[in-house]
Structure 1
Amino acid sequence: MKRTAILTTGILGLAMCASVSGEQANLPSHTIYHGGNIITMEGDSAEYAEAVVEKAGRIVYVGEKAGALAKFDGEAKAVDLEGKTLMPGFIEPHLHPSIAAVMLPNDTIAPHDWNKPDGIARAAKDPEAFKTRLKASIDERARAGEMHFVWGYHPLWHGPLGREMLNQLAPDKPVGVIHRSFHEIYLNDAAIDLFKLDQADYADNPQVDWERGHFFEGGWLALVPKIGPFLLNPETYKQGLSMMTRLMLRNGITTICEPGFPSADFAMEYGLLKTEMDKNPPYDTYLIPNGTQLYGMSGNSNEKAEQMMRELPQKYDTQNIFFLPGQVKLFADGAIYSLAMEMKASYTSDEFAGEWMTPLDLLQQQQSFYWDRGYKIHVHANGDKGIQQVIDFNREDQKRNPRDDHRFTLHHMGYFDDAIAQQASDLGIEASVNPYYLWALADKYAAVGLGRERAENLVPIKALTSRGVPVSFHSDFAMAPAEPLTLAWTAVNRVTSEGSRFSQDQRLDVFSAMQGITINAARTLNQEREIGSIKAGKVANFTILEHDPFKVEPMTIKDIPVYGVVHRGEMAVNQKQLLGGDRDAHGCIASAGYLWCAKTNKCERPWELAKKEQFENTIEAFDKFCGN
């Protein structure tokens, strides 16, 4: 990623670089940003400043432009924002580079469109379209003796899947179809043979269906270490991390955190992540140790796992990778995308059932263990029963061993009610939620799985904020796109992928939503003294937007273009896309009128194909004919 230092008075001007050491010594030591909407995200409402001054990657002044010029005249270069909006750098407090590295370079066949760095992976909305796309993916990219992964499958859109179907589509090519939740996988015979899996090793695992080649929740966790060398293929993994870096800049993200490191192989994941971060991309990466994974790696010992955690910062911290000391990630119930979250009331179909990712006796043991050692505990919990169980365990710990400012944090929180929100408030529990669940799942889950009342009230954020619970937003990439403005937009509007407007009483105001991707996201990581708002003394991380989210129609917030970022005082700008450069994931050039057609297995101009095949010249008819 090329870093661009702007040394002119105009933000769109060409960068000018001194060529000799003497000139470098005479360069101004400060940078003044002015001429736009500068939103500090300090206080309880949108506050604006006329100017911000940065020196050596730190903010040294926030206030009036005249004061900045008077104080730093002769010491600063000026950056004119030319009407753009400068905000604190967006923060992703729960994002998985390991998932990005697997998902981005491989084929995506999901229920909704996905914006990838190289184009759009179009949605497959029914079983026929999914099977057609999956066959095309296997025919085009799968190879004998090499693992081929496809991500995005969901049975409610794509119908049943299993080993038998995959064997028919790929009798000799190893194929693994990863569920939309990334908590499940389906393997064909060739993949099972390639991995050298033995049925006897999974005979006692209730979360493995060997006949269907289906490994889910605990079965998936048991499988991942065995398939790590294939899942974490260094060549494609590096490519995926590089693609992730492009997404971070595109969406204005200057800080990411992976809660739950590692997912499978510590040395390999860290080494590959460090290779990407050594390129000095315009963001920092924080890591929270995976208490459950390190427990297994340490011979099922919490004591040994915790000893390893204490040593991680000194051993592995770099200039832009930081293990967060005194923090740990644990796991309660299953994935909302799998309808495996633990629910108090039963699902509307016997097809779905709650699953515990961690046996409850071990979860309680781990919560108490880290609580007593003063850790900030992050727990993955999705369903109201799962969340309630985590809260009940913590309530017992608080009675036994009271702690102030513990910042125990629940992550995801797919479904809960006012009673749970009140308990969280009473116990000082905080939240990092994924608003995107409502957009992606509410319509489908209203019809299947949850029923209308629960589905239309997924992630009721205002139940938390109205009770004073600090709330941040995250994508849990790739459970949602790594697009902070999209997360804020969903929380503000509560509109679904089908255009439904559900639980409008839970809509947030724009300021509260923007807190969720700035200052509150920093708080989730215990980093609010360093990042998350524009204040003297903090790190000079900024996101530059083309428009002010407080001055546009709320329904357009997600569409605000990100001009670029300033990361630790250095600017990186999104390059404008050139005509003809808008290829989608199949290489089709939209600006030239081409769209992918799964049936013909090539890029087509819809009007030309409609004439040739004699169907109506509409995009709906095109998609139906092509099975897209």
Structure 2
Amino acid sequence: MYITLKKSLLLLLSVVLLGSCKDVKKEEKTKNSATVYFGGDIITMEGDSPQYAEAVVVNEGKITFVGASEEAMRVAGEGHKMIDLEGKTLLPGFLDPHSHFINSLGMSSQANCSPSPVGEGNDVAGIVKALTDLKKEKNIPDGQLIMGYGYDDSVMPDGKLLNRDDLDKAFPNNPVMVLHVSLHGAVLNSKAMEEYGVSDKTETPEGGVIVRKPGTNEPYGLIMETAFLPIFSKLPKPSEAELLAQLKDGQMIYAEAGVTTAHEGLSHFEDVEILQKGADKNAFFIDVVSYPFITELDTLLQKYNANDFGKYDNRFKLGGIKITIDGSPQGRTALFTTPYLTGGPGGEKDWVGEPTFSQDEVNQMLKSIYDKGLQSTFHANGDGAIDMCIKAHEFASGDNPTKERRTVIIHSQFVRNDQLDKYVEYKLIPSLYTEHTFFFADAHIKNRGLEQASSISPMKTAIEKGLKPTNHTDFNVVPIDQMMVVWSAVNRISRAGEVIGANERVTPYQALQAITTNAAYQYFEEDSKGSLAEGKLADLVILDSNPLKVDPLKIKDIKVLETIKEGKTIFKR
């Protein structure tokens, strides 16, 4: 009887506990998850002039209210969480209009050979030191490739450029490759040249550059553009496991800058596969948009359908297809309609640069993209390259060139006024690069003259014509630093402290639009990102100061305090 009574009591207790647990779970499920942000400058980025709100309500990853504090409390309901900004500034999360996200994955294993203020590669000695430090830090054995990034030949003192002999002397037992700041080429030492099949018998391909040792046919300095592509394709690839492990570090570089949507600006098929595997493993905490290179299109479509483009899969999506038309103006490989003042990178006379592909090839490439209903992004710096983009658009679009396709001409550095008029007519989007006014202005003045250099990335003119320009870093050409992007568009000041094109300066608000609302439009995501509005994703960034209120010269000193993706903090300083 005792046993029977004990069993009955235990059964009764189990029923009570089970019911209690169910009640707790029910209570947890119905617990209010709304958060109210208040107490600071909340800039909504709605409209073409600054609009402020007292409060923003976030619930289940989306914005549910933007407006007065009293109404926000009512909308949030009982038990909501309160976050006092304490005078800080809240903005929509920044969208990166153009960079190379895939490069962020391997940066920790490469030497920073950039000149100041990014690195210490101001001369050959500084570059060698950065490479030597990496070799020691990573304990790189003899025979293994040593890589650096950020080499900028345009700032080397007294015209002393990095060459093969410098690298041979410092690293006799390792292949060494130092990537040019444009990411369009590199300087190799003798062991690297041997490993990648470059010799005095290597011919310079059309659209390529191989700097030779004076008086010989021996490759000596920069190898760029189409001449570099075979080398790039042979670079050692990290294992899938290594790359997936690097995804977190790569995303954190962006998150620390307040970026909640990142751009992968020229993806090879292997890159797409890695990113897709990352998505399959739920490895993304920011959104990443990939633009595979045109030469990969046929291979890509064997696995991915055209209908797969433009749709996120665990925060990764294929955005469109990339076509590269020319190189970089600082590397003297951009295509112009008039000659460089300094000749070509290999000493060529009357040098205007060369296109990566012929006009006929570009026409057919773009037509294949348009025929599949896909978005296209061009890489075009010089006005000659931009002419090719416009002609290709006219060819590929048939009898409907004014249809809204949101074709993006990335960089558009030396775009002419008449070309901007065509952008307006054909609804083309310029993704500008105002940081060149700081990092590369001296090179542009030397290569192109002060007048043309002063008109690079003409953001104010583009806005006045009715365009929605975006503005980018081209990371890892320069660091992901969105406040530096804004600062450069507002001030246009060079390394030397000179103003480069004062008439193209824009307001801080216009500069912010280029990395919020305009960038969302570029991605066809204006309904879900780019501003603080009801129904949009709760992608937010908190800054320590208001870019619209500080001294314009101090905008670059503003710090990102917190980055929030769909209501969840992904970075906090």
- Length-normalised TM-score, structure 2: 0.85
- By how many angstroms is 1:523 displaced? 0.9
Would the alpha carbon gap of residues 316 and 501 (structure 1) be closer, same or farther in structure 2, given more than 3 Å must change? Answer: closer
Contact map agreement 1:104 1:244 (CA 8 A) in 2: no
Secondary structure at 2:63 match in 1: strand
Q: Which residue of 2 aligns with 1:261?
A: 267
Name the stretch that deviates more: 129-138 or 376-385. Answer: 129-138
Contact map agreement 2:403 2:426 (CA 8 A) in 1: no
- Mapped to 1, the partners of 2:307 and 2:191 lie a distance apart of 38
- Mapped to 2, the partners of 1:444 and 1:518 lie a distance apart of 30
Would the alpha carbon gap of residues 355 and 568 (structure 1) be closer, same or farther in structure 2, given more than 3 Å must change? Answer: same
- Mapped to 2, the partners of 1:316 and 1:467 lie a distance apart of 31
Would the alpha carbon gap of residues 169 and 264 (structure 1) be closer, same or farther in structure 2, given more than 3 Å must change? Answer: farther
- By how many angstroms is 1:214 displaced? 4.6
- By how many angstroms is 1:379 displaced? 0.7
- Mapped to 1, the partners of 2:375 and 2:55 lie a distance apart of 36
Would the alpha carbon gap of residues 407 and 498 (structure 1) be closer, same or farther in structure 2, given more than 3 Å must change? Answer: same
Contact map agreement 1:407 1:428 (CA 8 A) in 2: yes
Does structure 1 residue 187 correspond to structure 2 residue 182?
no
- By how many angstroms is 1:213 displaced? 6.9
Contact map agreement 2:167 2:189 (CA 8 A) in 1: yes
Contact map agreement 2:204 2:227 (CA 8 A) in 1: no
Q: Which residue of 2 aligns with 1:226?
A: 234
Q: How does 1:537-576 map to 2 (within 5 A)?
A: 537-575=535-573
Would the alpha carbon gap of residues 540 and 442 (structure 1) be closer, same or farther in structure 2, given more than 3 Å must change? Answer: same
Q: Which residue of 2 aligns with 1:476?
A: 474
Contact map agreement 1:291 1:330 (CA 8 A) in 2: yes
Residue 285 of structure 1 is aligned with which of 285, 288, 294? 288
- Mapped to 2, the partners of 1:45 and 1:317 lie a distance apart of 31
Contact map agreement 1:143 1:174 (CA 8 A) in 2: no
Secondary structure at 1:469 match in 2: coil
Q: Deviations over 1:302-361 (max 9, x none)?
A: xxx55655268399953222223xx22211111233121001110012233413223332
Secondary structure at 1:212 match in 2: strand
Q: How does 1:517-536 map to 2 (within 5 A)?
A: 517-536=515-534
Does structure 1 residue 126 correspond to structure 2 residue 123?
yes
Identify unmatched segments of 5+ residues in structure 1: 1-19, 115-121, 299-304, 576-628
- By how many angstroms is 1:124 displaced? 2.8
- Mapped to 2, the partners of 1:499 and 1:559 lie a distance apart of 16
Q: Which residue of 1 aligns with 2:213?
A: none
Contact map agreement 1:228 1:265 (CA 8 A) in 2: no
- Mapped to 1, the partners of 2:232 and 2:75 lie a distance apart of 57
- By how many angstroms is 1:137 displaced? 5.1
- By how many angstroms is 1:402 displaced? 4.0
- By how many angstroms is 1:193 displaced? 4.3
Q: Which residue of 1 aligns with 2:386?
A: 387
Residue 330 of structure 1 is aligned with which of 323, 336, 348? 323
- Mapped to 2, the partners of 1:93 and 1:369 lie a distance apart of 24
- By how many angstroms is 1:539 displaced? 0.6
Contact map agreement 1:138 1:169 (CA 8 A) in 2: no
Contact map agreement 1:38 1:48 (CA 8 A) in 2: yes
Structure (1 or 2) with the larger CA radius of gyration: 2
Q: Which residue of 2 aligns with 1:347?
A: 340
Secondary structure at 2:370 match in 1: helix
Residue 514 of structure 2 is aligned with which of 516, 520, 523? 516
The amino acid that maps onto 2:425 is: D
- By how many angstroms is 1:34 displaced? 1.4
Q: Which residue of 2 aligns with 1:294?
A: 297
Contact map agreement 1:145 1:194 (CA 8 A) in 2: no
Name the stretch that deviates more: 553-562 or 99-108. Answer: 99-108
The amino acid that maps onto 1:125 is: N
The amino acid that maps onto 1:56 is: E
The amino acid that maps onto 1:289 is: P
Q: Which residue of 2 aligns with 1:321?
A: 316
Q: Which residue of 1 aligns with 2:464?
A: 466
Q: Which residue of 1 aligns with 2:12?
A: none
Q: Which residue of 2 aligns with 1:410?
A: 409
Q: What percent identity do the matched residue pairs reach?
A: 27
Would the alpha carbon gap of residues 25 and 503 (structure 1) be closer, same or farther in structure 2, given more than 3 Å must change? Answer: same
Q: Which residue of 2 aligns with 1:371?
A: 370
The amino acid that maps onto 1:257 is: H
Secondary structure at 1:487 match in 2: helix
Would the alpha carbon gap of residues 397 and 322 (structure 1) be closer, same or farther in structure 2, given more than 3 Å must change? Answer: closer
Would the alpha carbon gap of residues 164 and 536 (structure 1) be closer, same or farther in structure 2, given more than 3 Å must change? Answer: same
The amino acid that maps onto 1:258 is: E
- Length-normalised TM-score, structure 1: 0.78
Does structure 1 residue 217 correspond to structure 2 residue 221?
no
Would the alpha carbon gap of residues 280 and 433 (structure 1) be closer, same or farther in structure 2, given more than 3 Å must change? Answer: same
Q: How does 1:77-92 map to 2 (within 5 A)?
A: 77-92=81-96
- Mapped to 1, the partners of 2:272 and 2:51 lie a distance apart of 43
Q: Which residue of 2 aligns with 1:173?
A: 174
The amino acid that maps onto 1:262 is: H
Residue 495 of structure 1 is aligned with which of 470, 478, 493? 493
Contact map agreement 1:34 1:52 (CA 8 A) in 2: yes
The alignment of Structure 1 onto Structure 2 pairs a total of residues equal to: 532
Would the alpha carbon gap of residues 23 and 212 (structure 1) be closer, same or farther in structure 2, given more than 3 Å must change? Answer: farther
Q: Deviations over 1:129-178 (max 9, x none)?
A: 44555556557654212111011212223333333332222222111111
Secondary structure at 2:71 match in 1: helix
- By how many angstroms is 1:294 displaced? 3.1
- By how many angstroms is 1:365 displaced? 0.8
Contact map agreement 1:91 1:517 (CA 8 A) in 2: yes
Name the stretch that deviates more: 543-552 or 104-113. Answer: 104-113
- By how many angstroms is 1:535 displaced? 0.8
- Mapped to 1, the partners of 2:313 and 2:416 lie a distance apart of 42
Q: How does 1:32-71 map to 2 (within 5 A)?
A: 32-71=36-75
- Mapped to 2, the partners of 1:428 and 1:205 lie a distance apart of 35
The amino acid that maps onto 1:323 is: L
Q: Which residue of 1 aligns with 2:21?
A: none
Would the alpha carbon gap of residues 127 and 174 (structure 1) be closer, same or farther in structure 2, given more than 3 Å must change? Answer: closer
Identify unmatched segments of 5+ residues in structure 2: 1-23, 211-217, 346-350
Secondary structure at 1:227 match in 2: coil
- By how many angstroms is 1:477 displaced? 0.6
Name the stretch that deviates more: 157-166 or 528-537. Answer: 157-166
Q: Deviations over 1:421-460 (max 9, x none)?
A: 22211222111111111111112331x3222222232212
Q: Which residue of 1 aligns with 2:256?
A: 250
Does structure 1 residue 164 correspond to structure 2 residue 165?
yes
Q: Which residue of 2 aligns with 1:605?
A: none
Secondary structure at 2:223 match in 1: strand
Contact map agreement 1:217 1:355 (CA 8 A) in 2: no
- By how many angstroms is 1:113 displaced? 2.4
Q: Cα RMSD between the aligned structures?
A: 2.8
- Mapped to 2, the partners of 1:37 and 1:359 lie a distance apart of 51
- By how many angstroms is 1:285 displaced? 1.3
The amino acid that maps onto 1:526 is: F
Contact map agreement 1:249 1:574 (CA 8 A) in 2: no
The amino acid that maps onto 2:322 is: K
Secondary structure at 2:109 match in 1: coil
Secondary structure at 2:191 match in 1: helix
Q: Which residue of 1 aligns with 2:109?
A: 105
- Mapped to 2, the partners of 1:552 and 1:185 lie a distance apart of 40
Does structure 1 residue 205 correspond to structure 2 residue 205?
yes
Would the alpha carbon gap of residues 211 and 126 (structure 1) be closer, same or farther in structure 2, given more than 3 Å must change? Answer: closer
The amino acid that maps onto 1:382 is: N
- Mapped to 1, the partners of 2:403 and 2:344 lie a distance apart of 43
Q: Deviations over 1:538-568 (max 9, x none)?
A: 1111111111111111111121111102211
Contact map agreement 2:247 2:284 (CA 8 A) in 1: no
Contact map agreement 2:248 2:284 (CA 8 A) in 1: no
- Mapped to 2, the partners of 1:226 and 1:517 lie a distance apart of 35
Secondary structure at 2:390 match in 1: helix
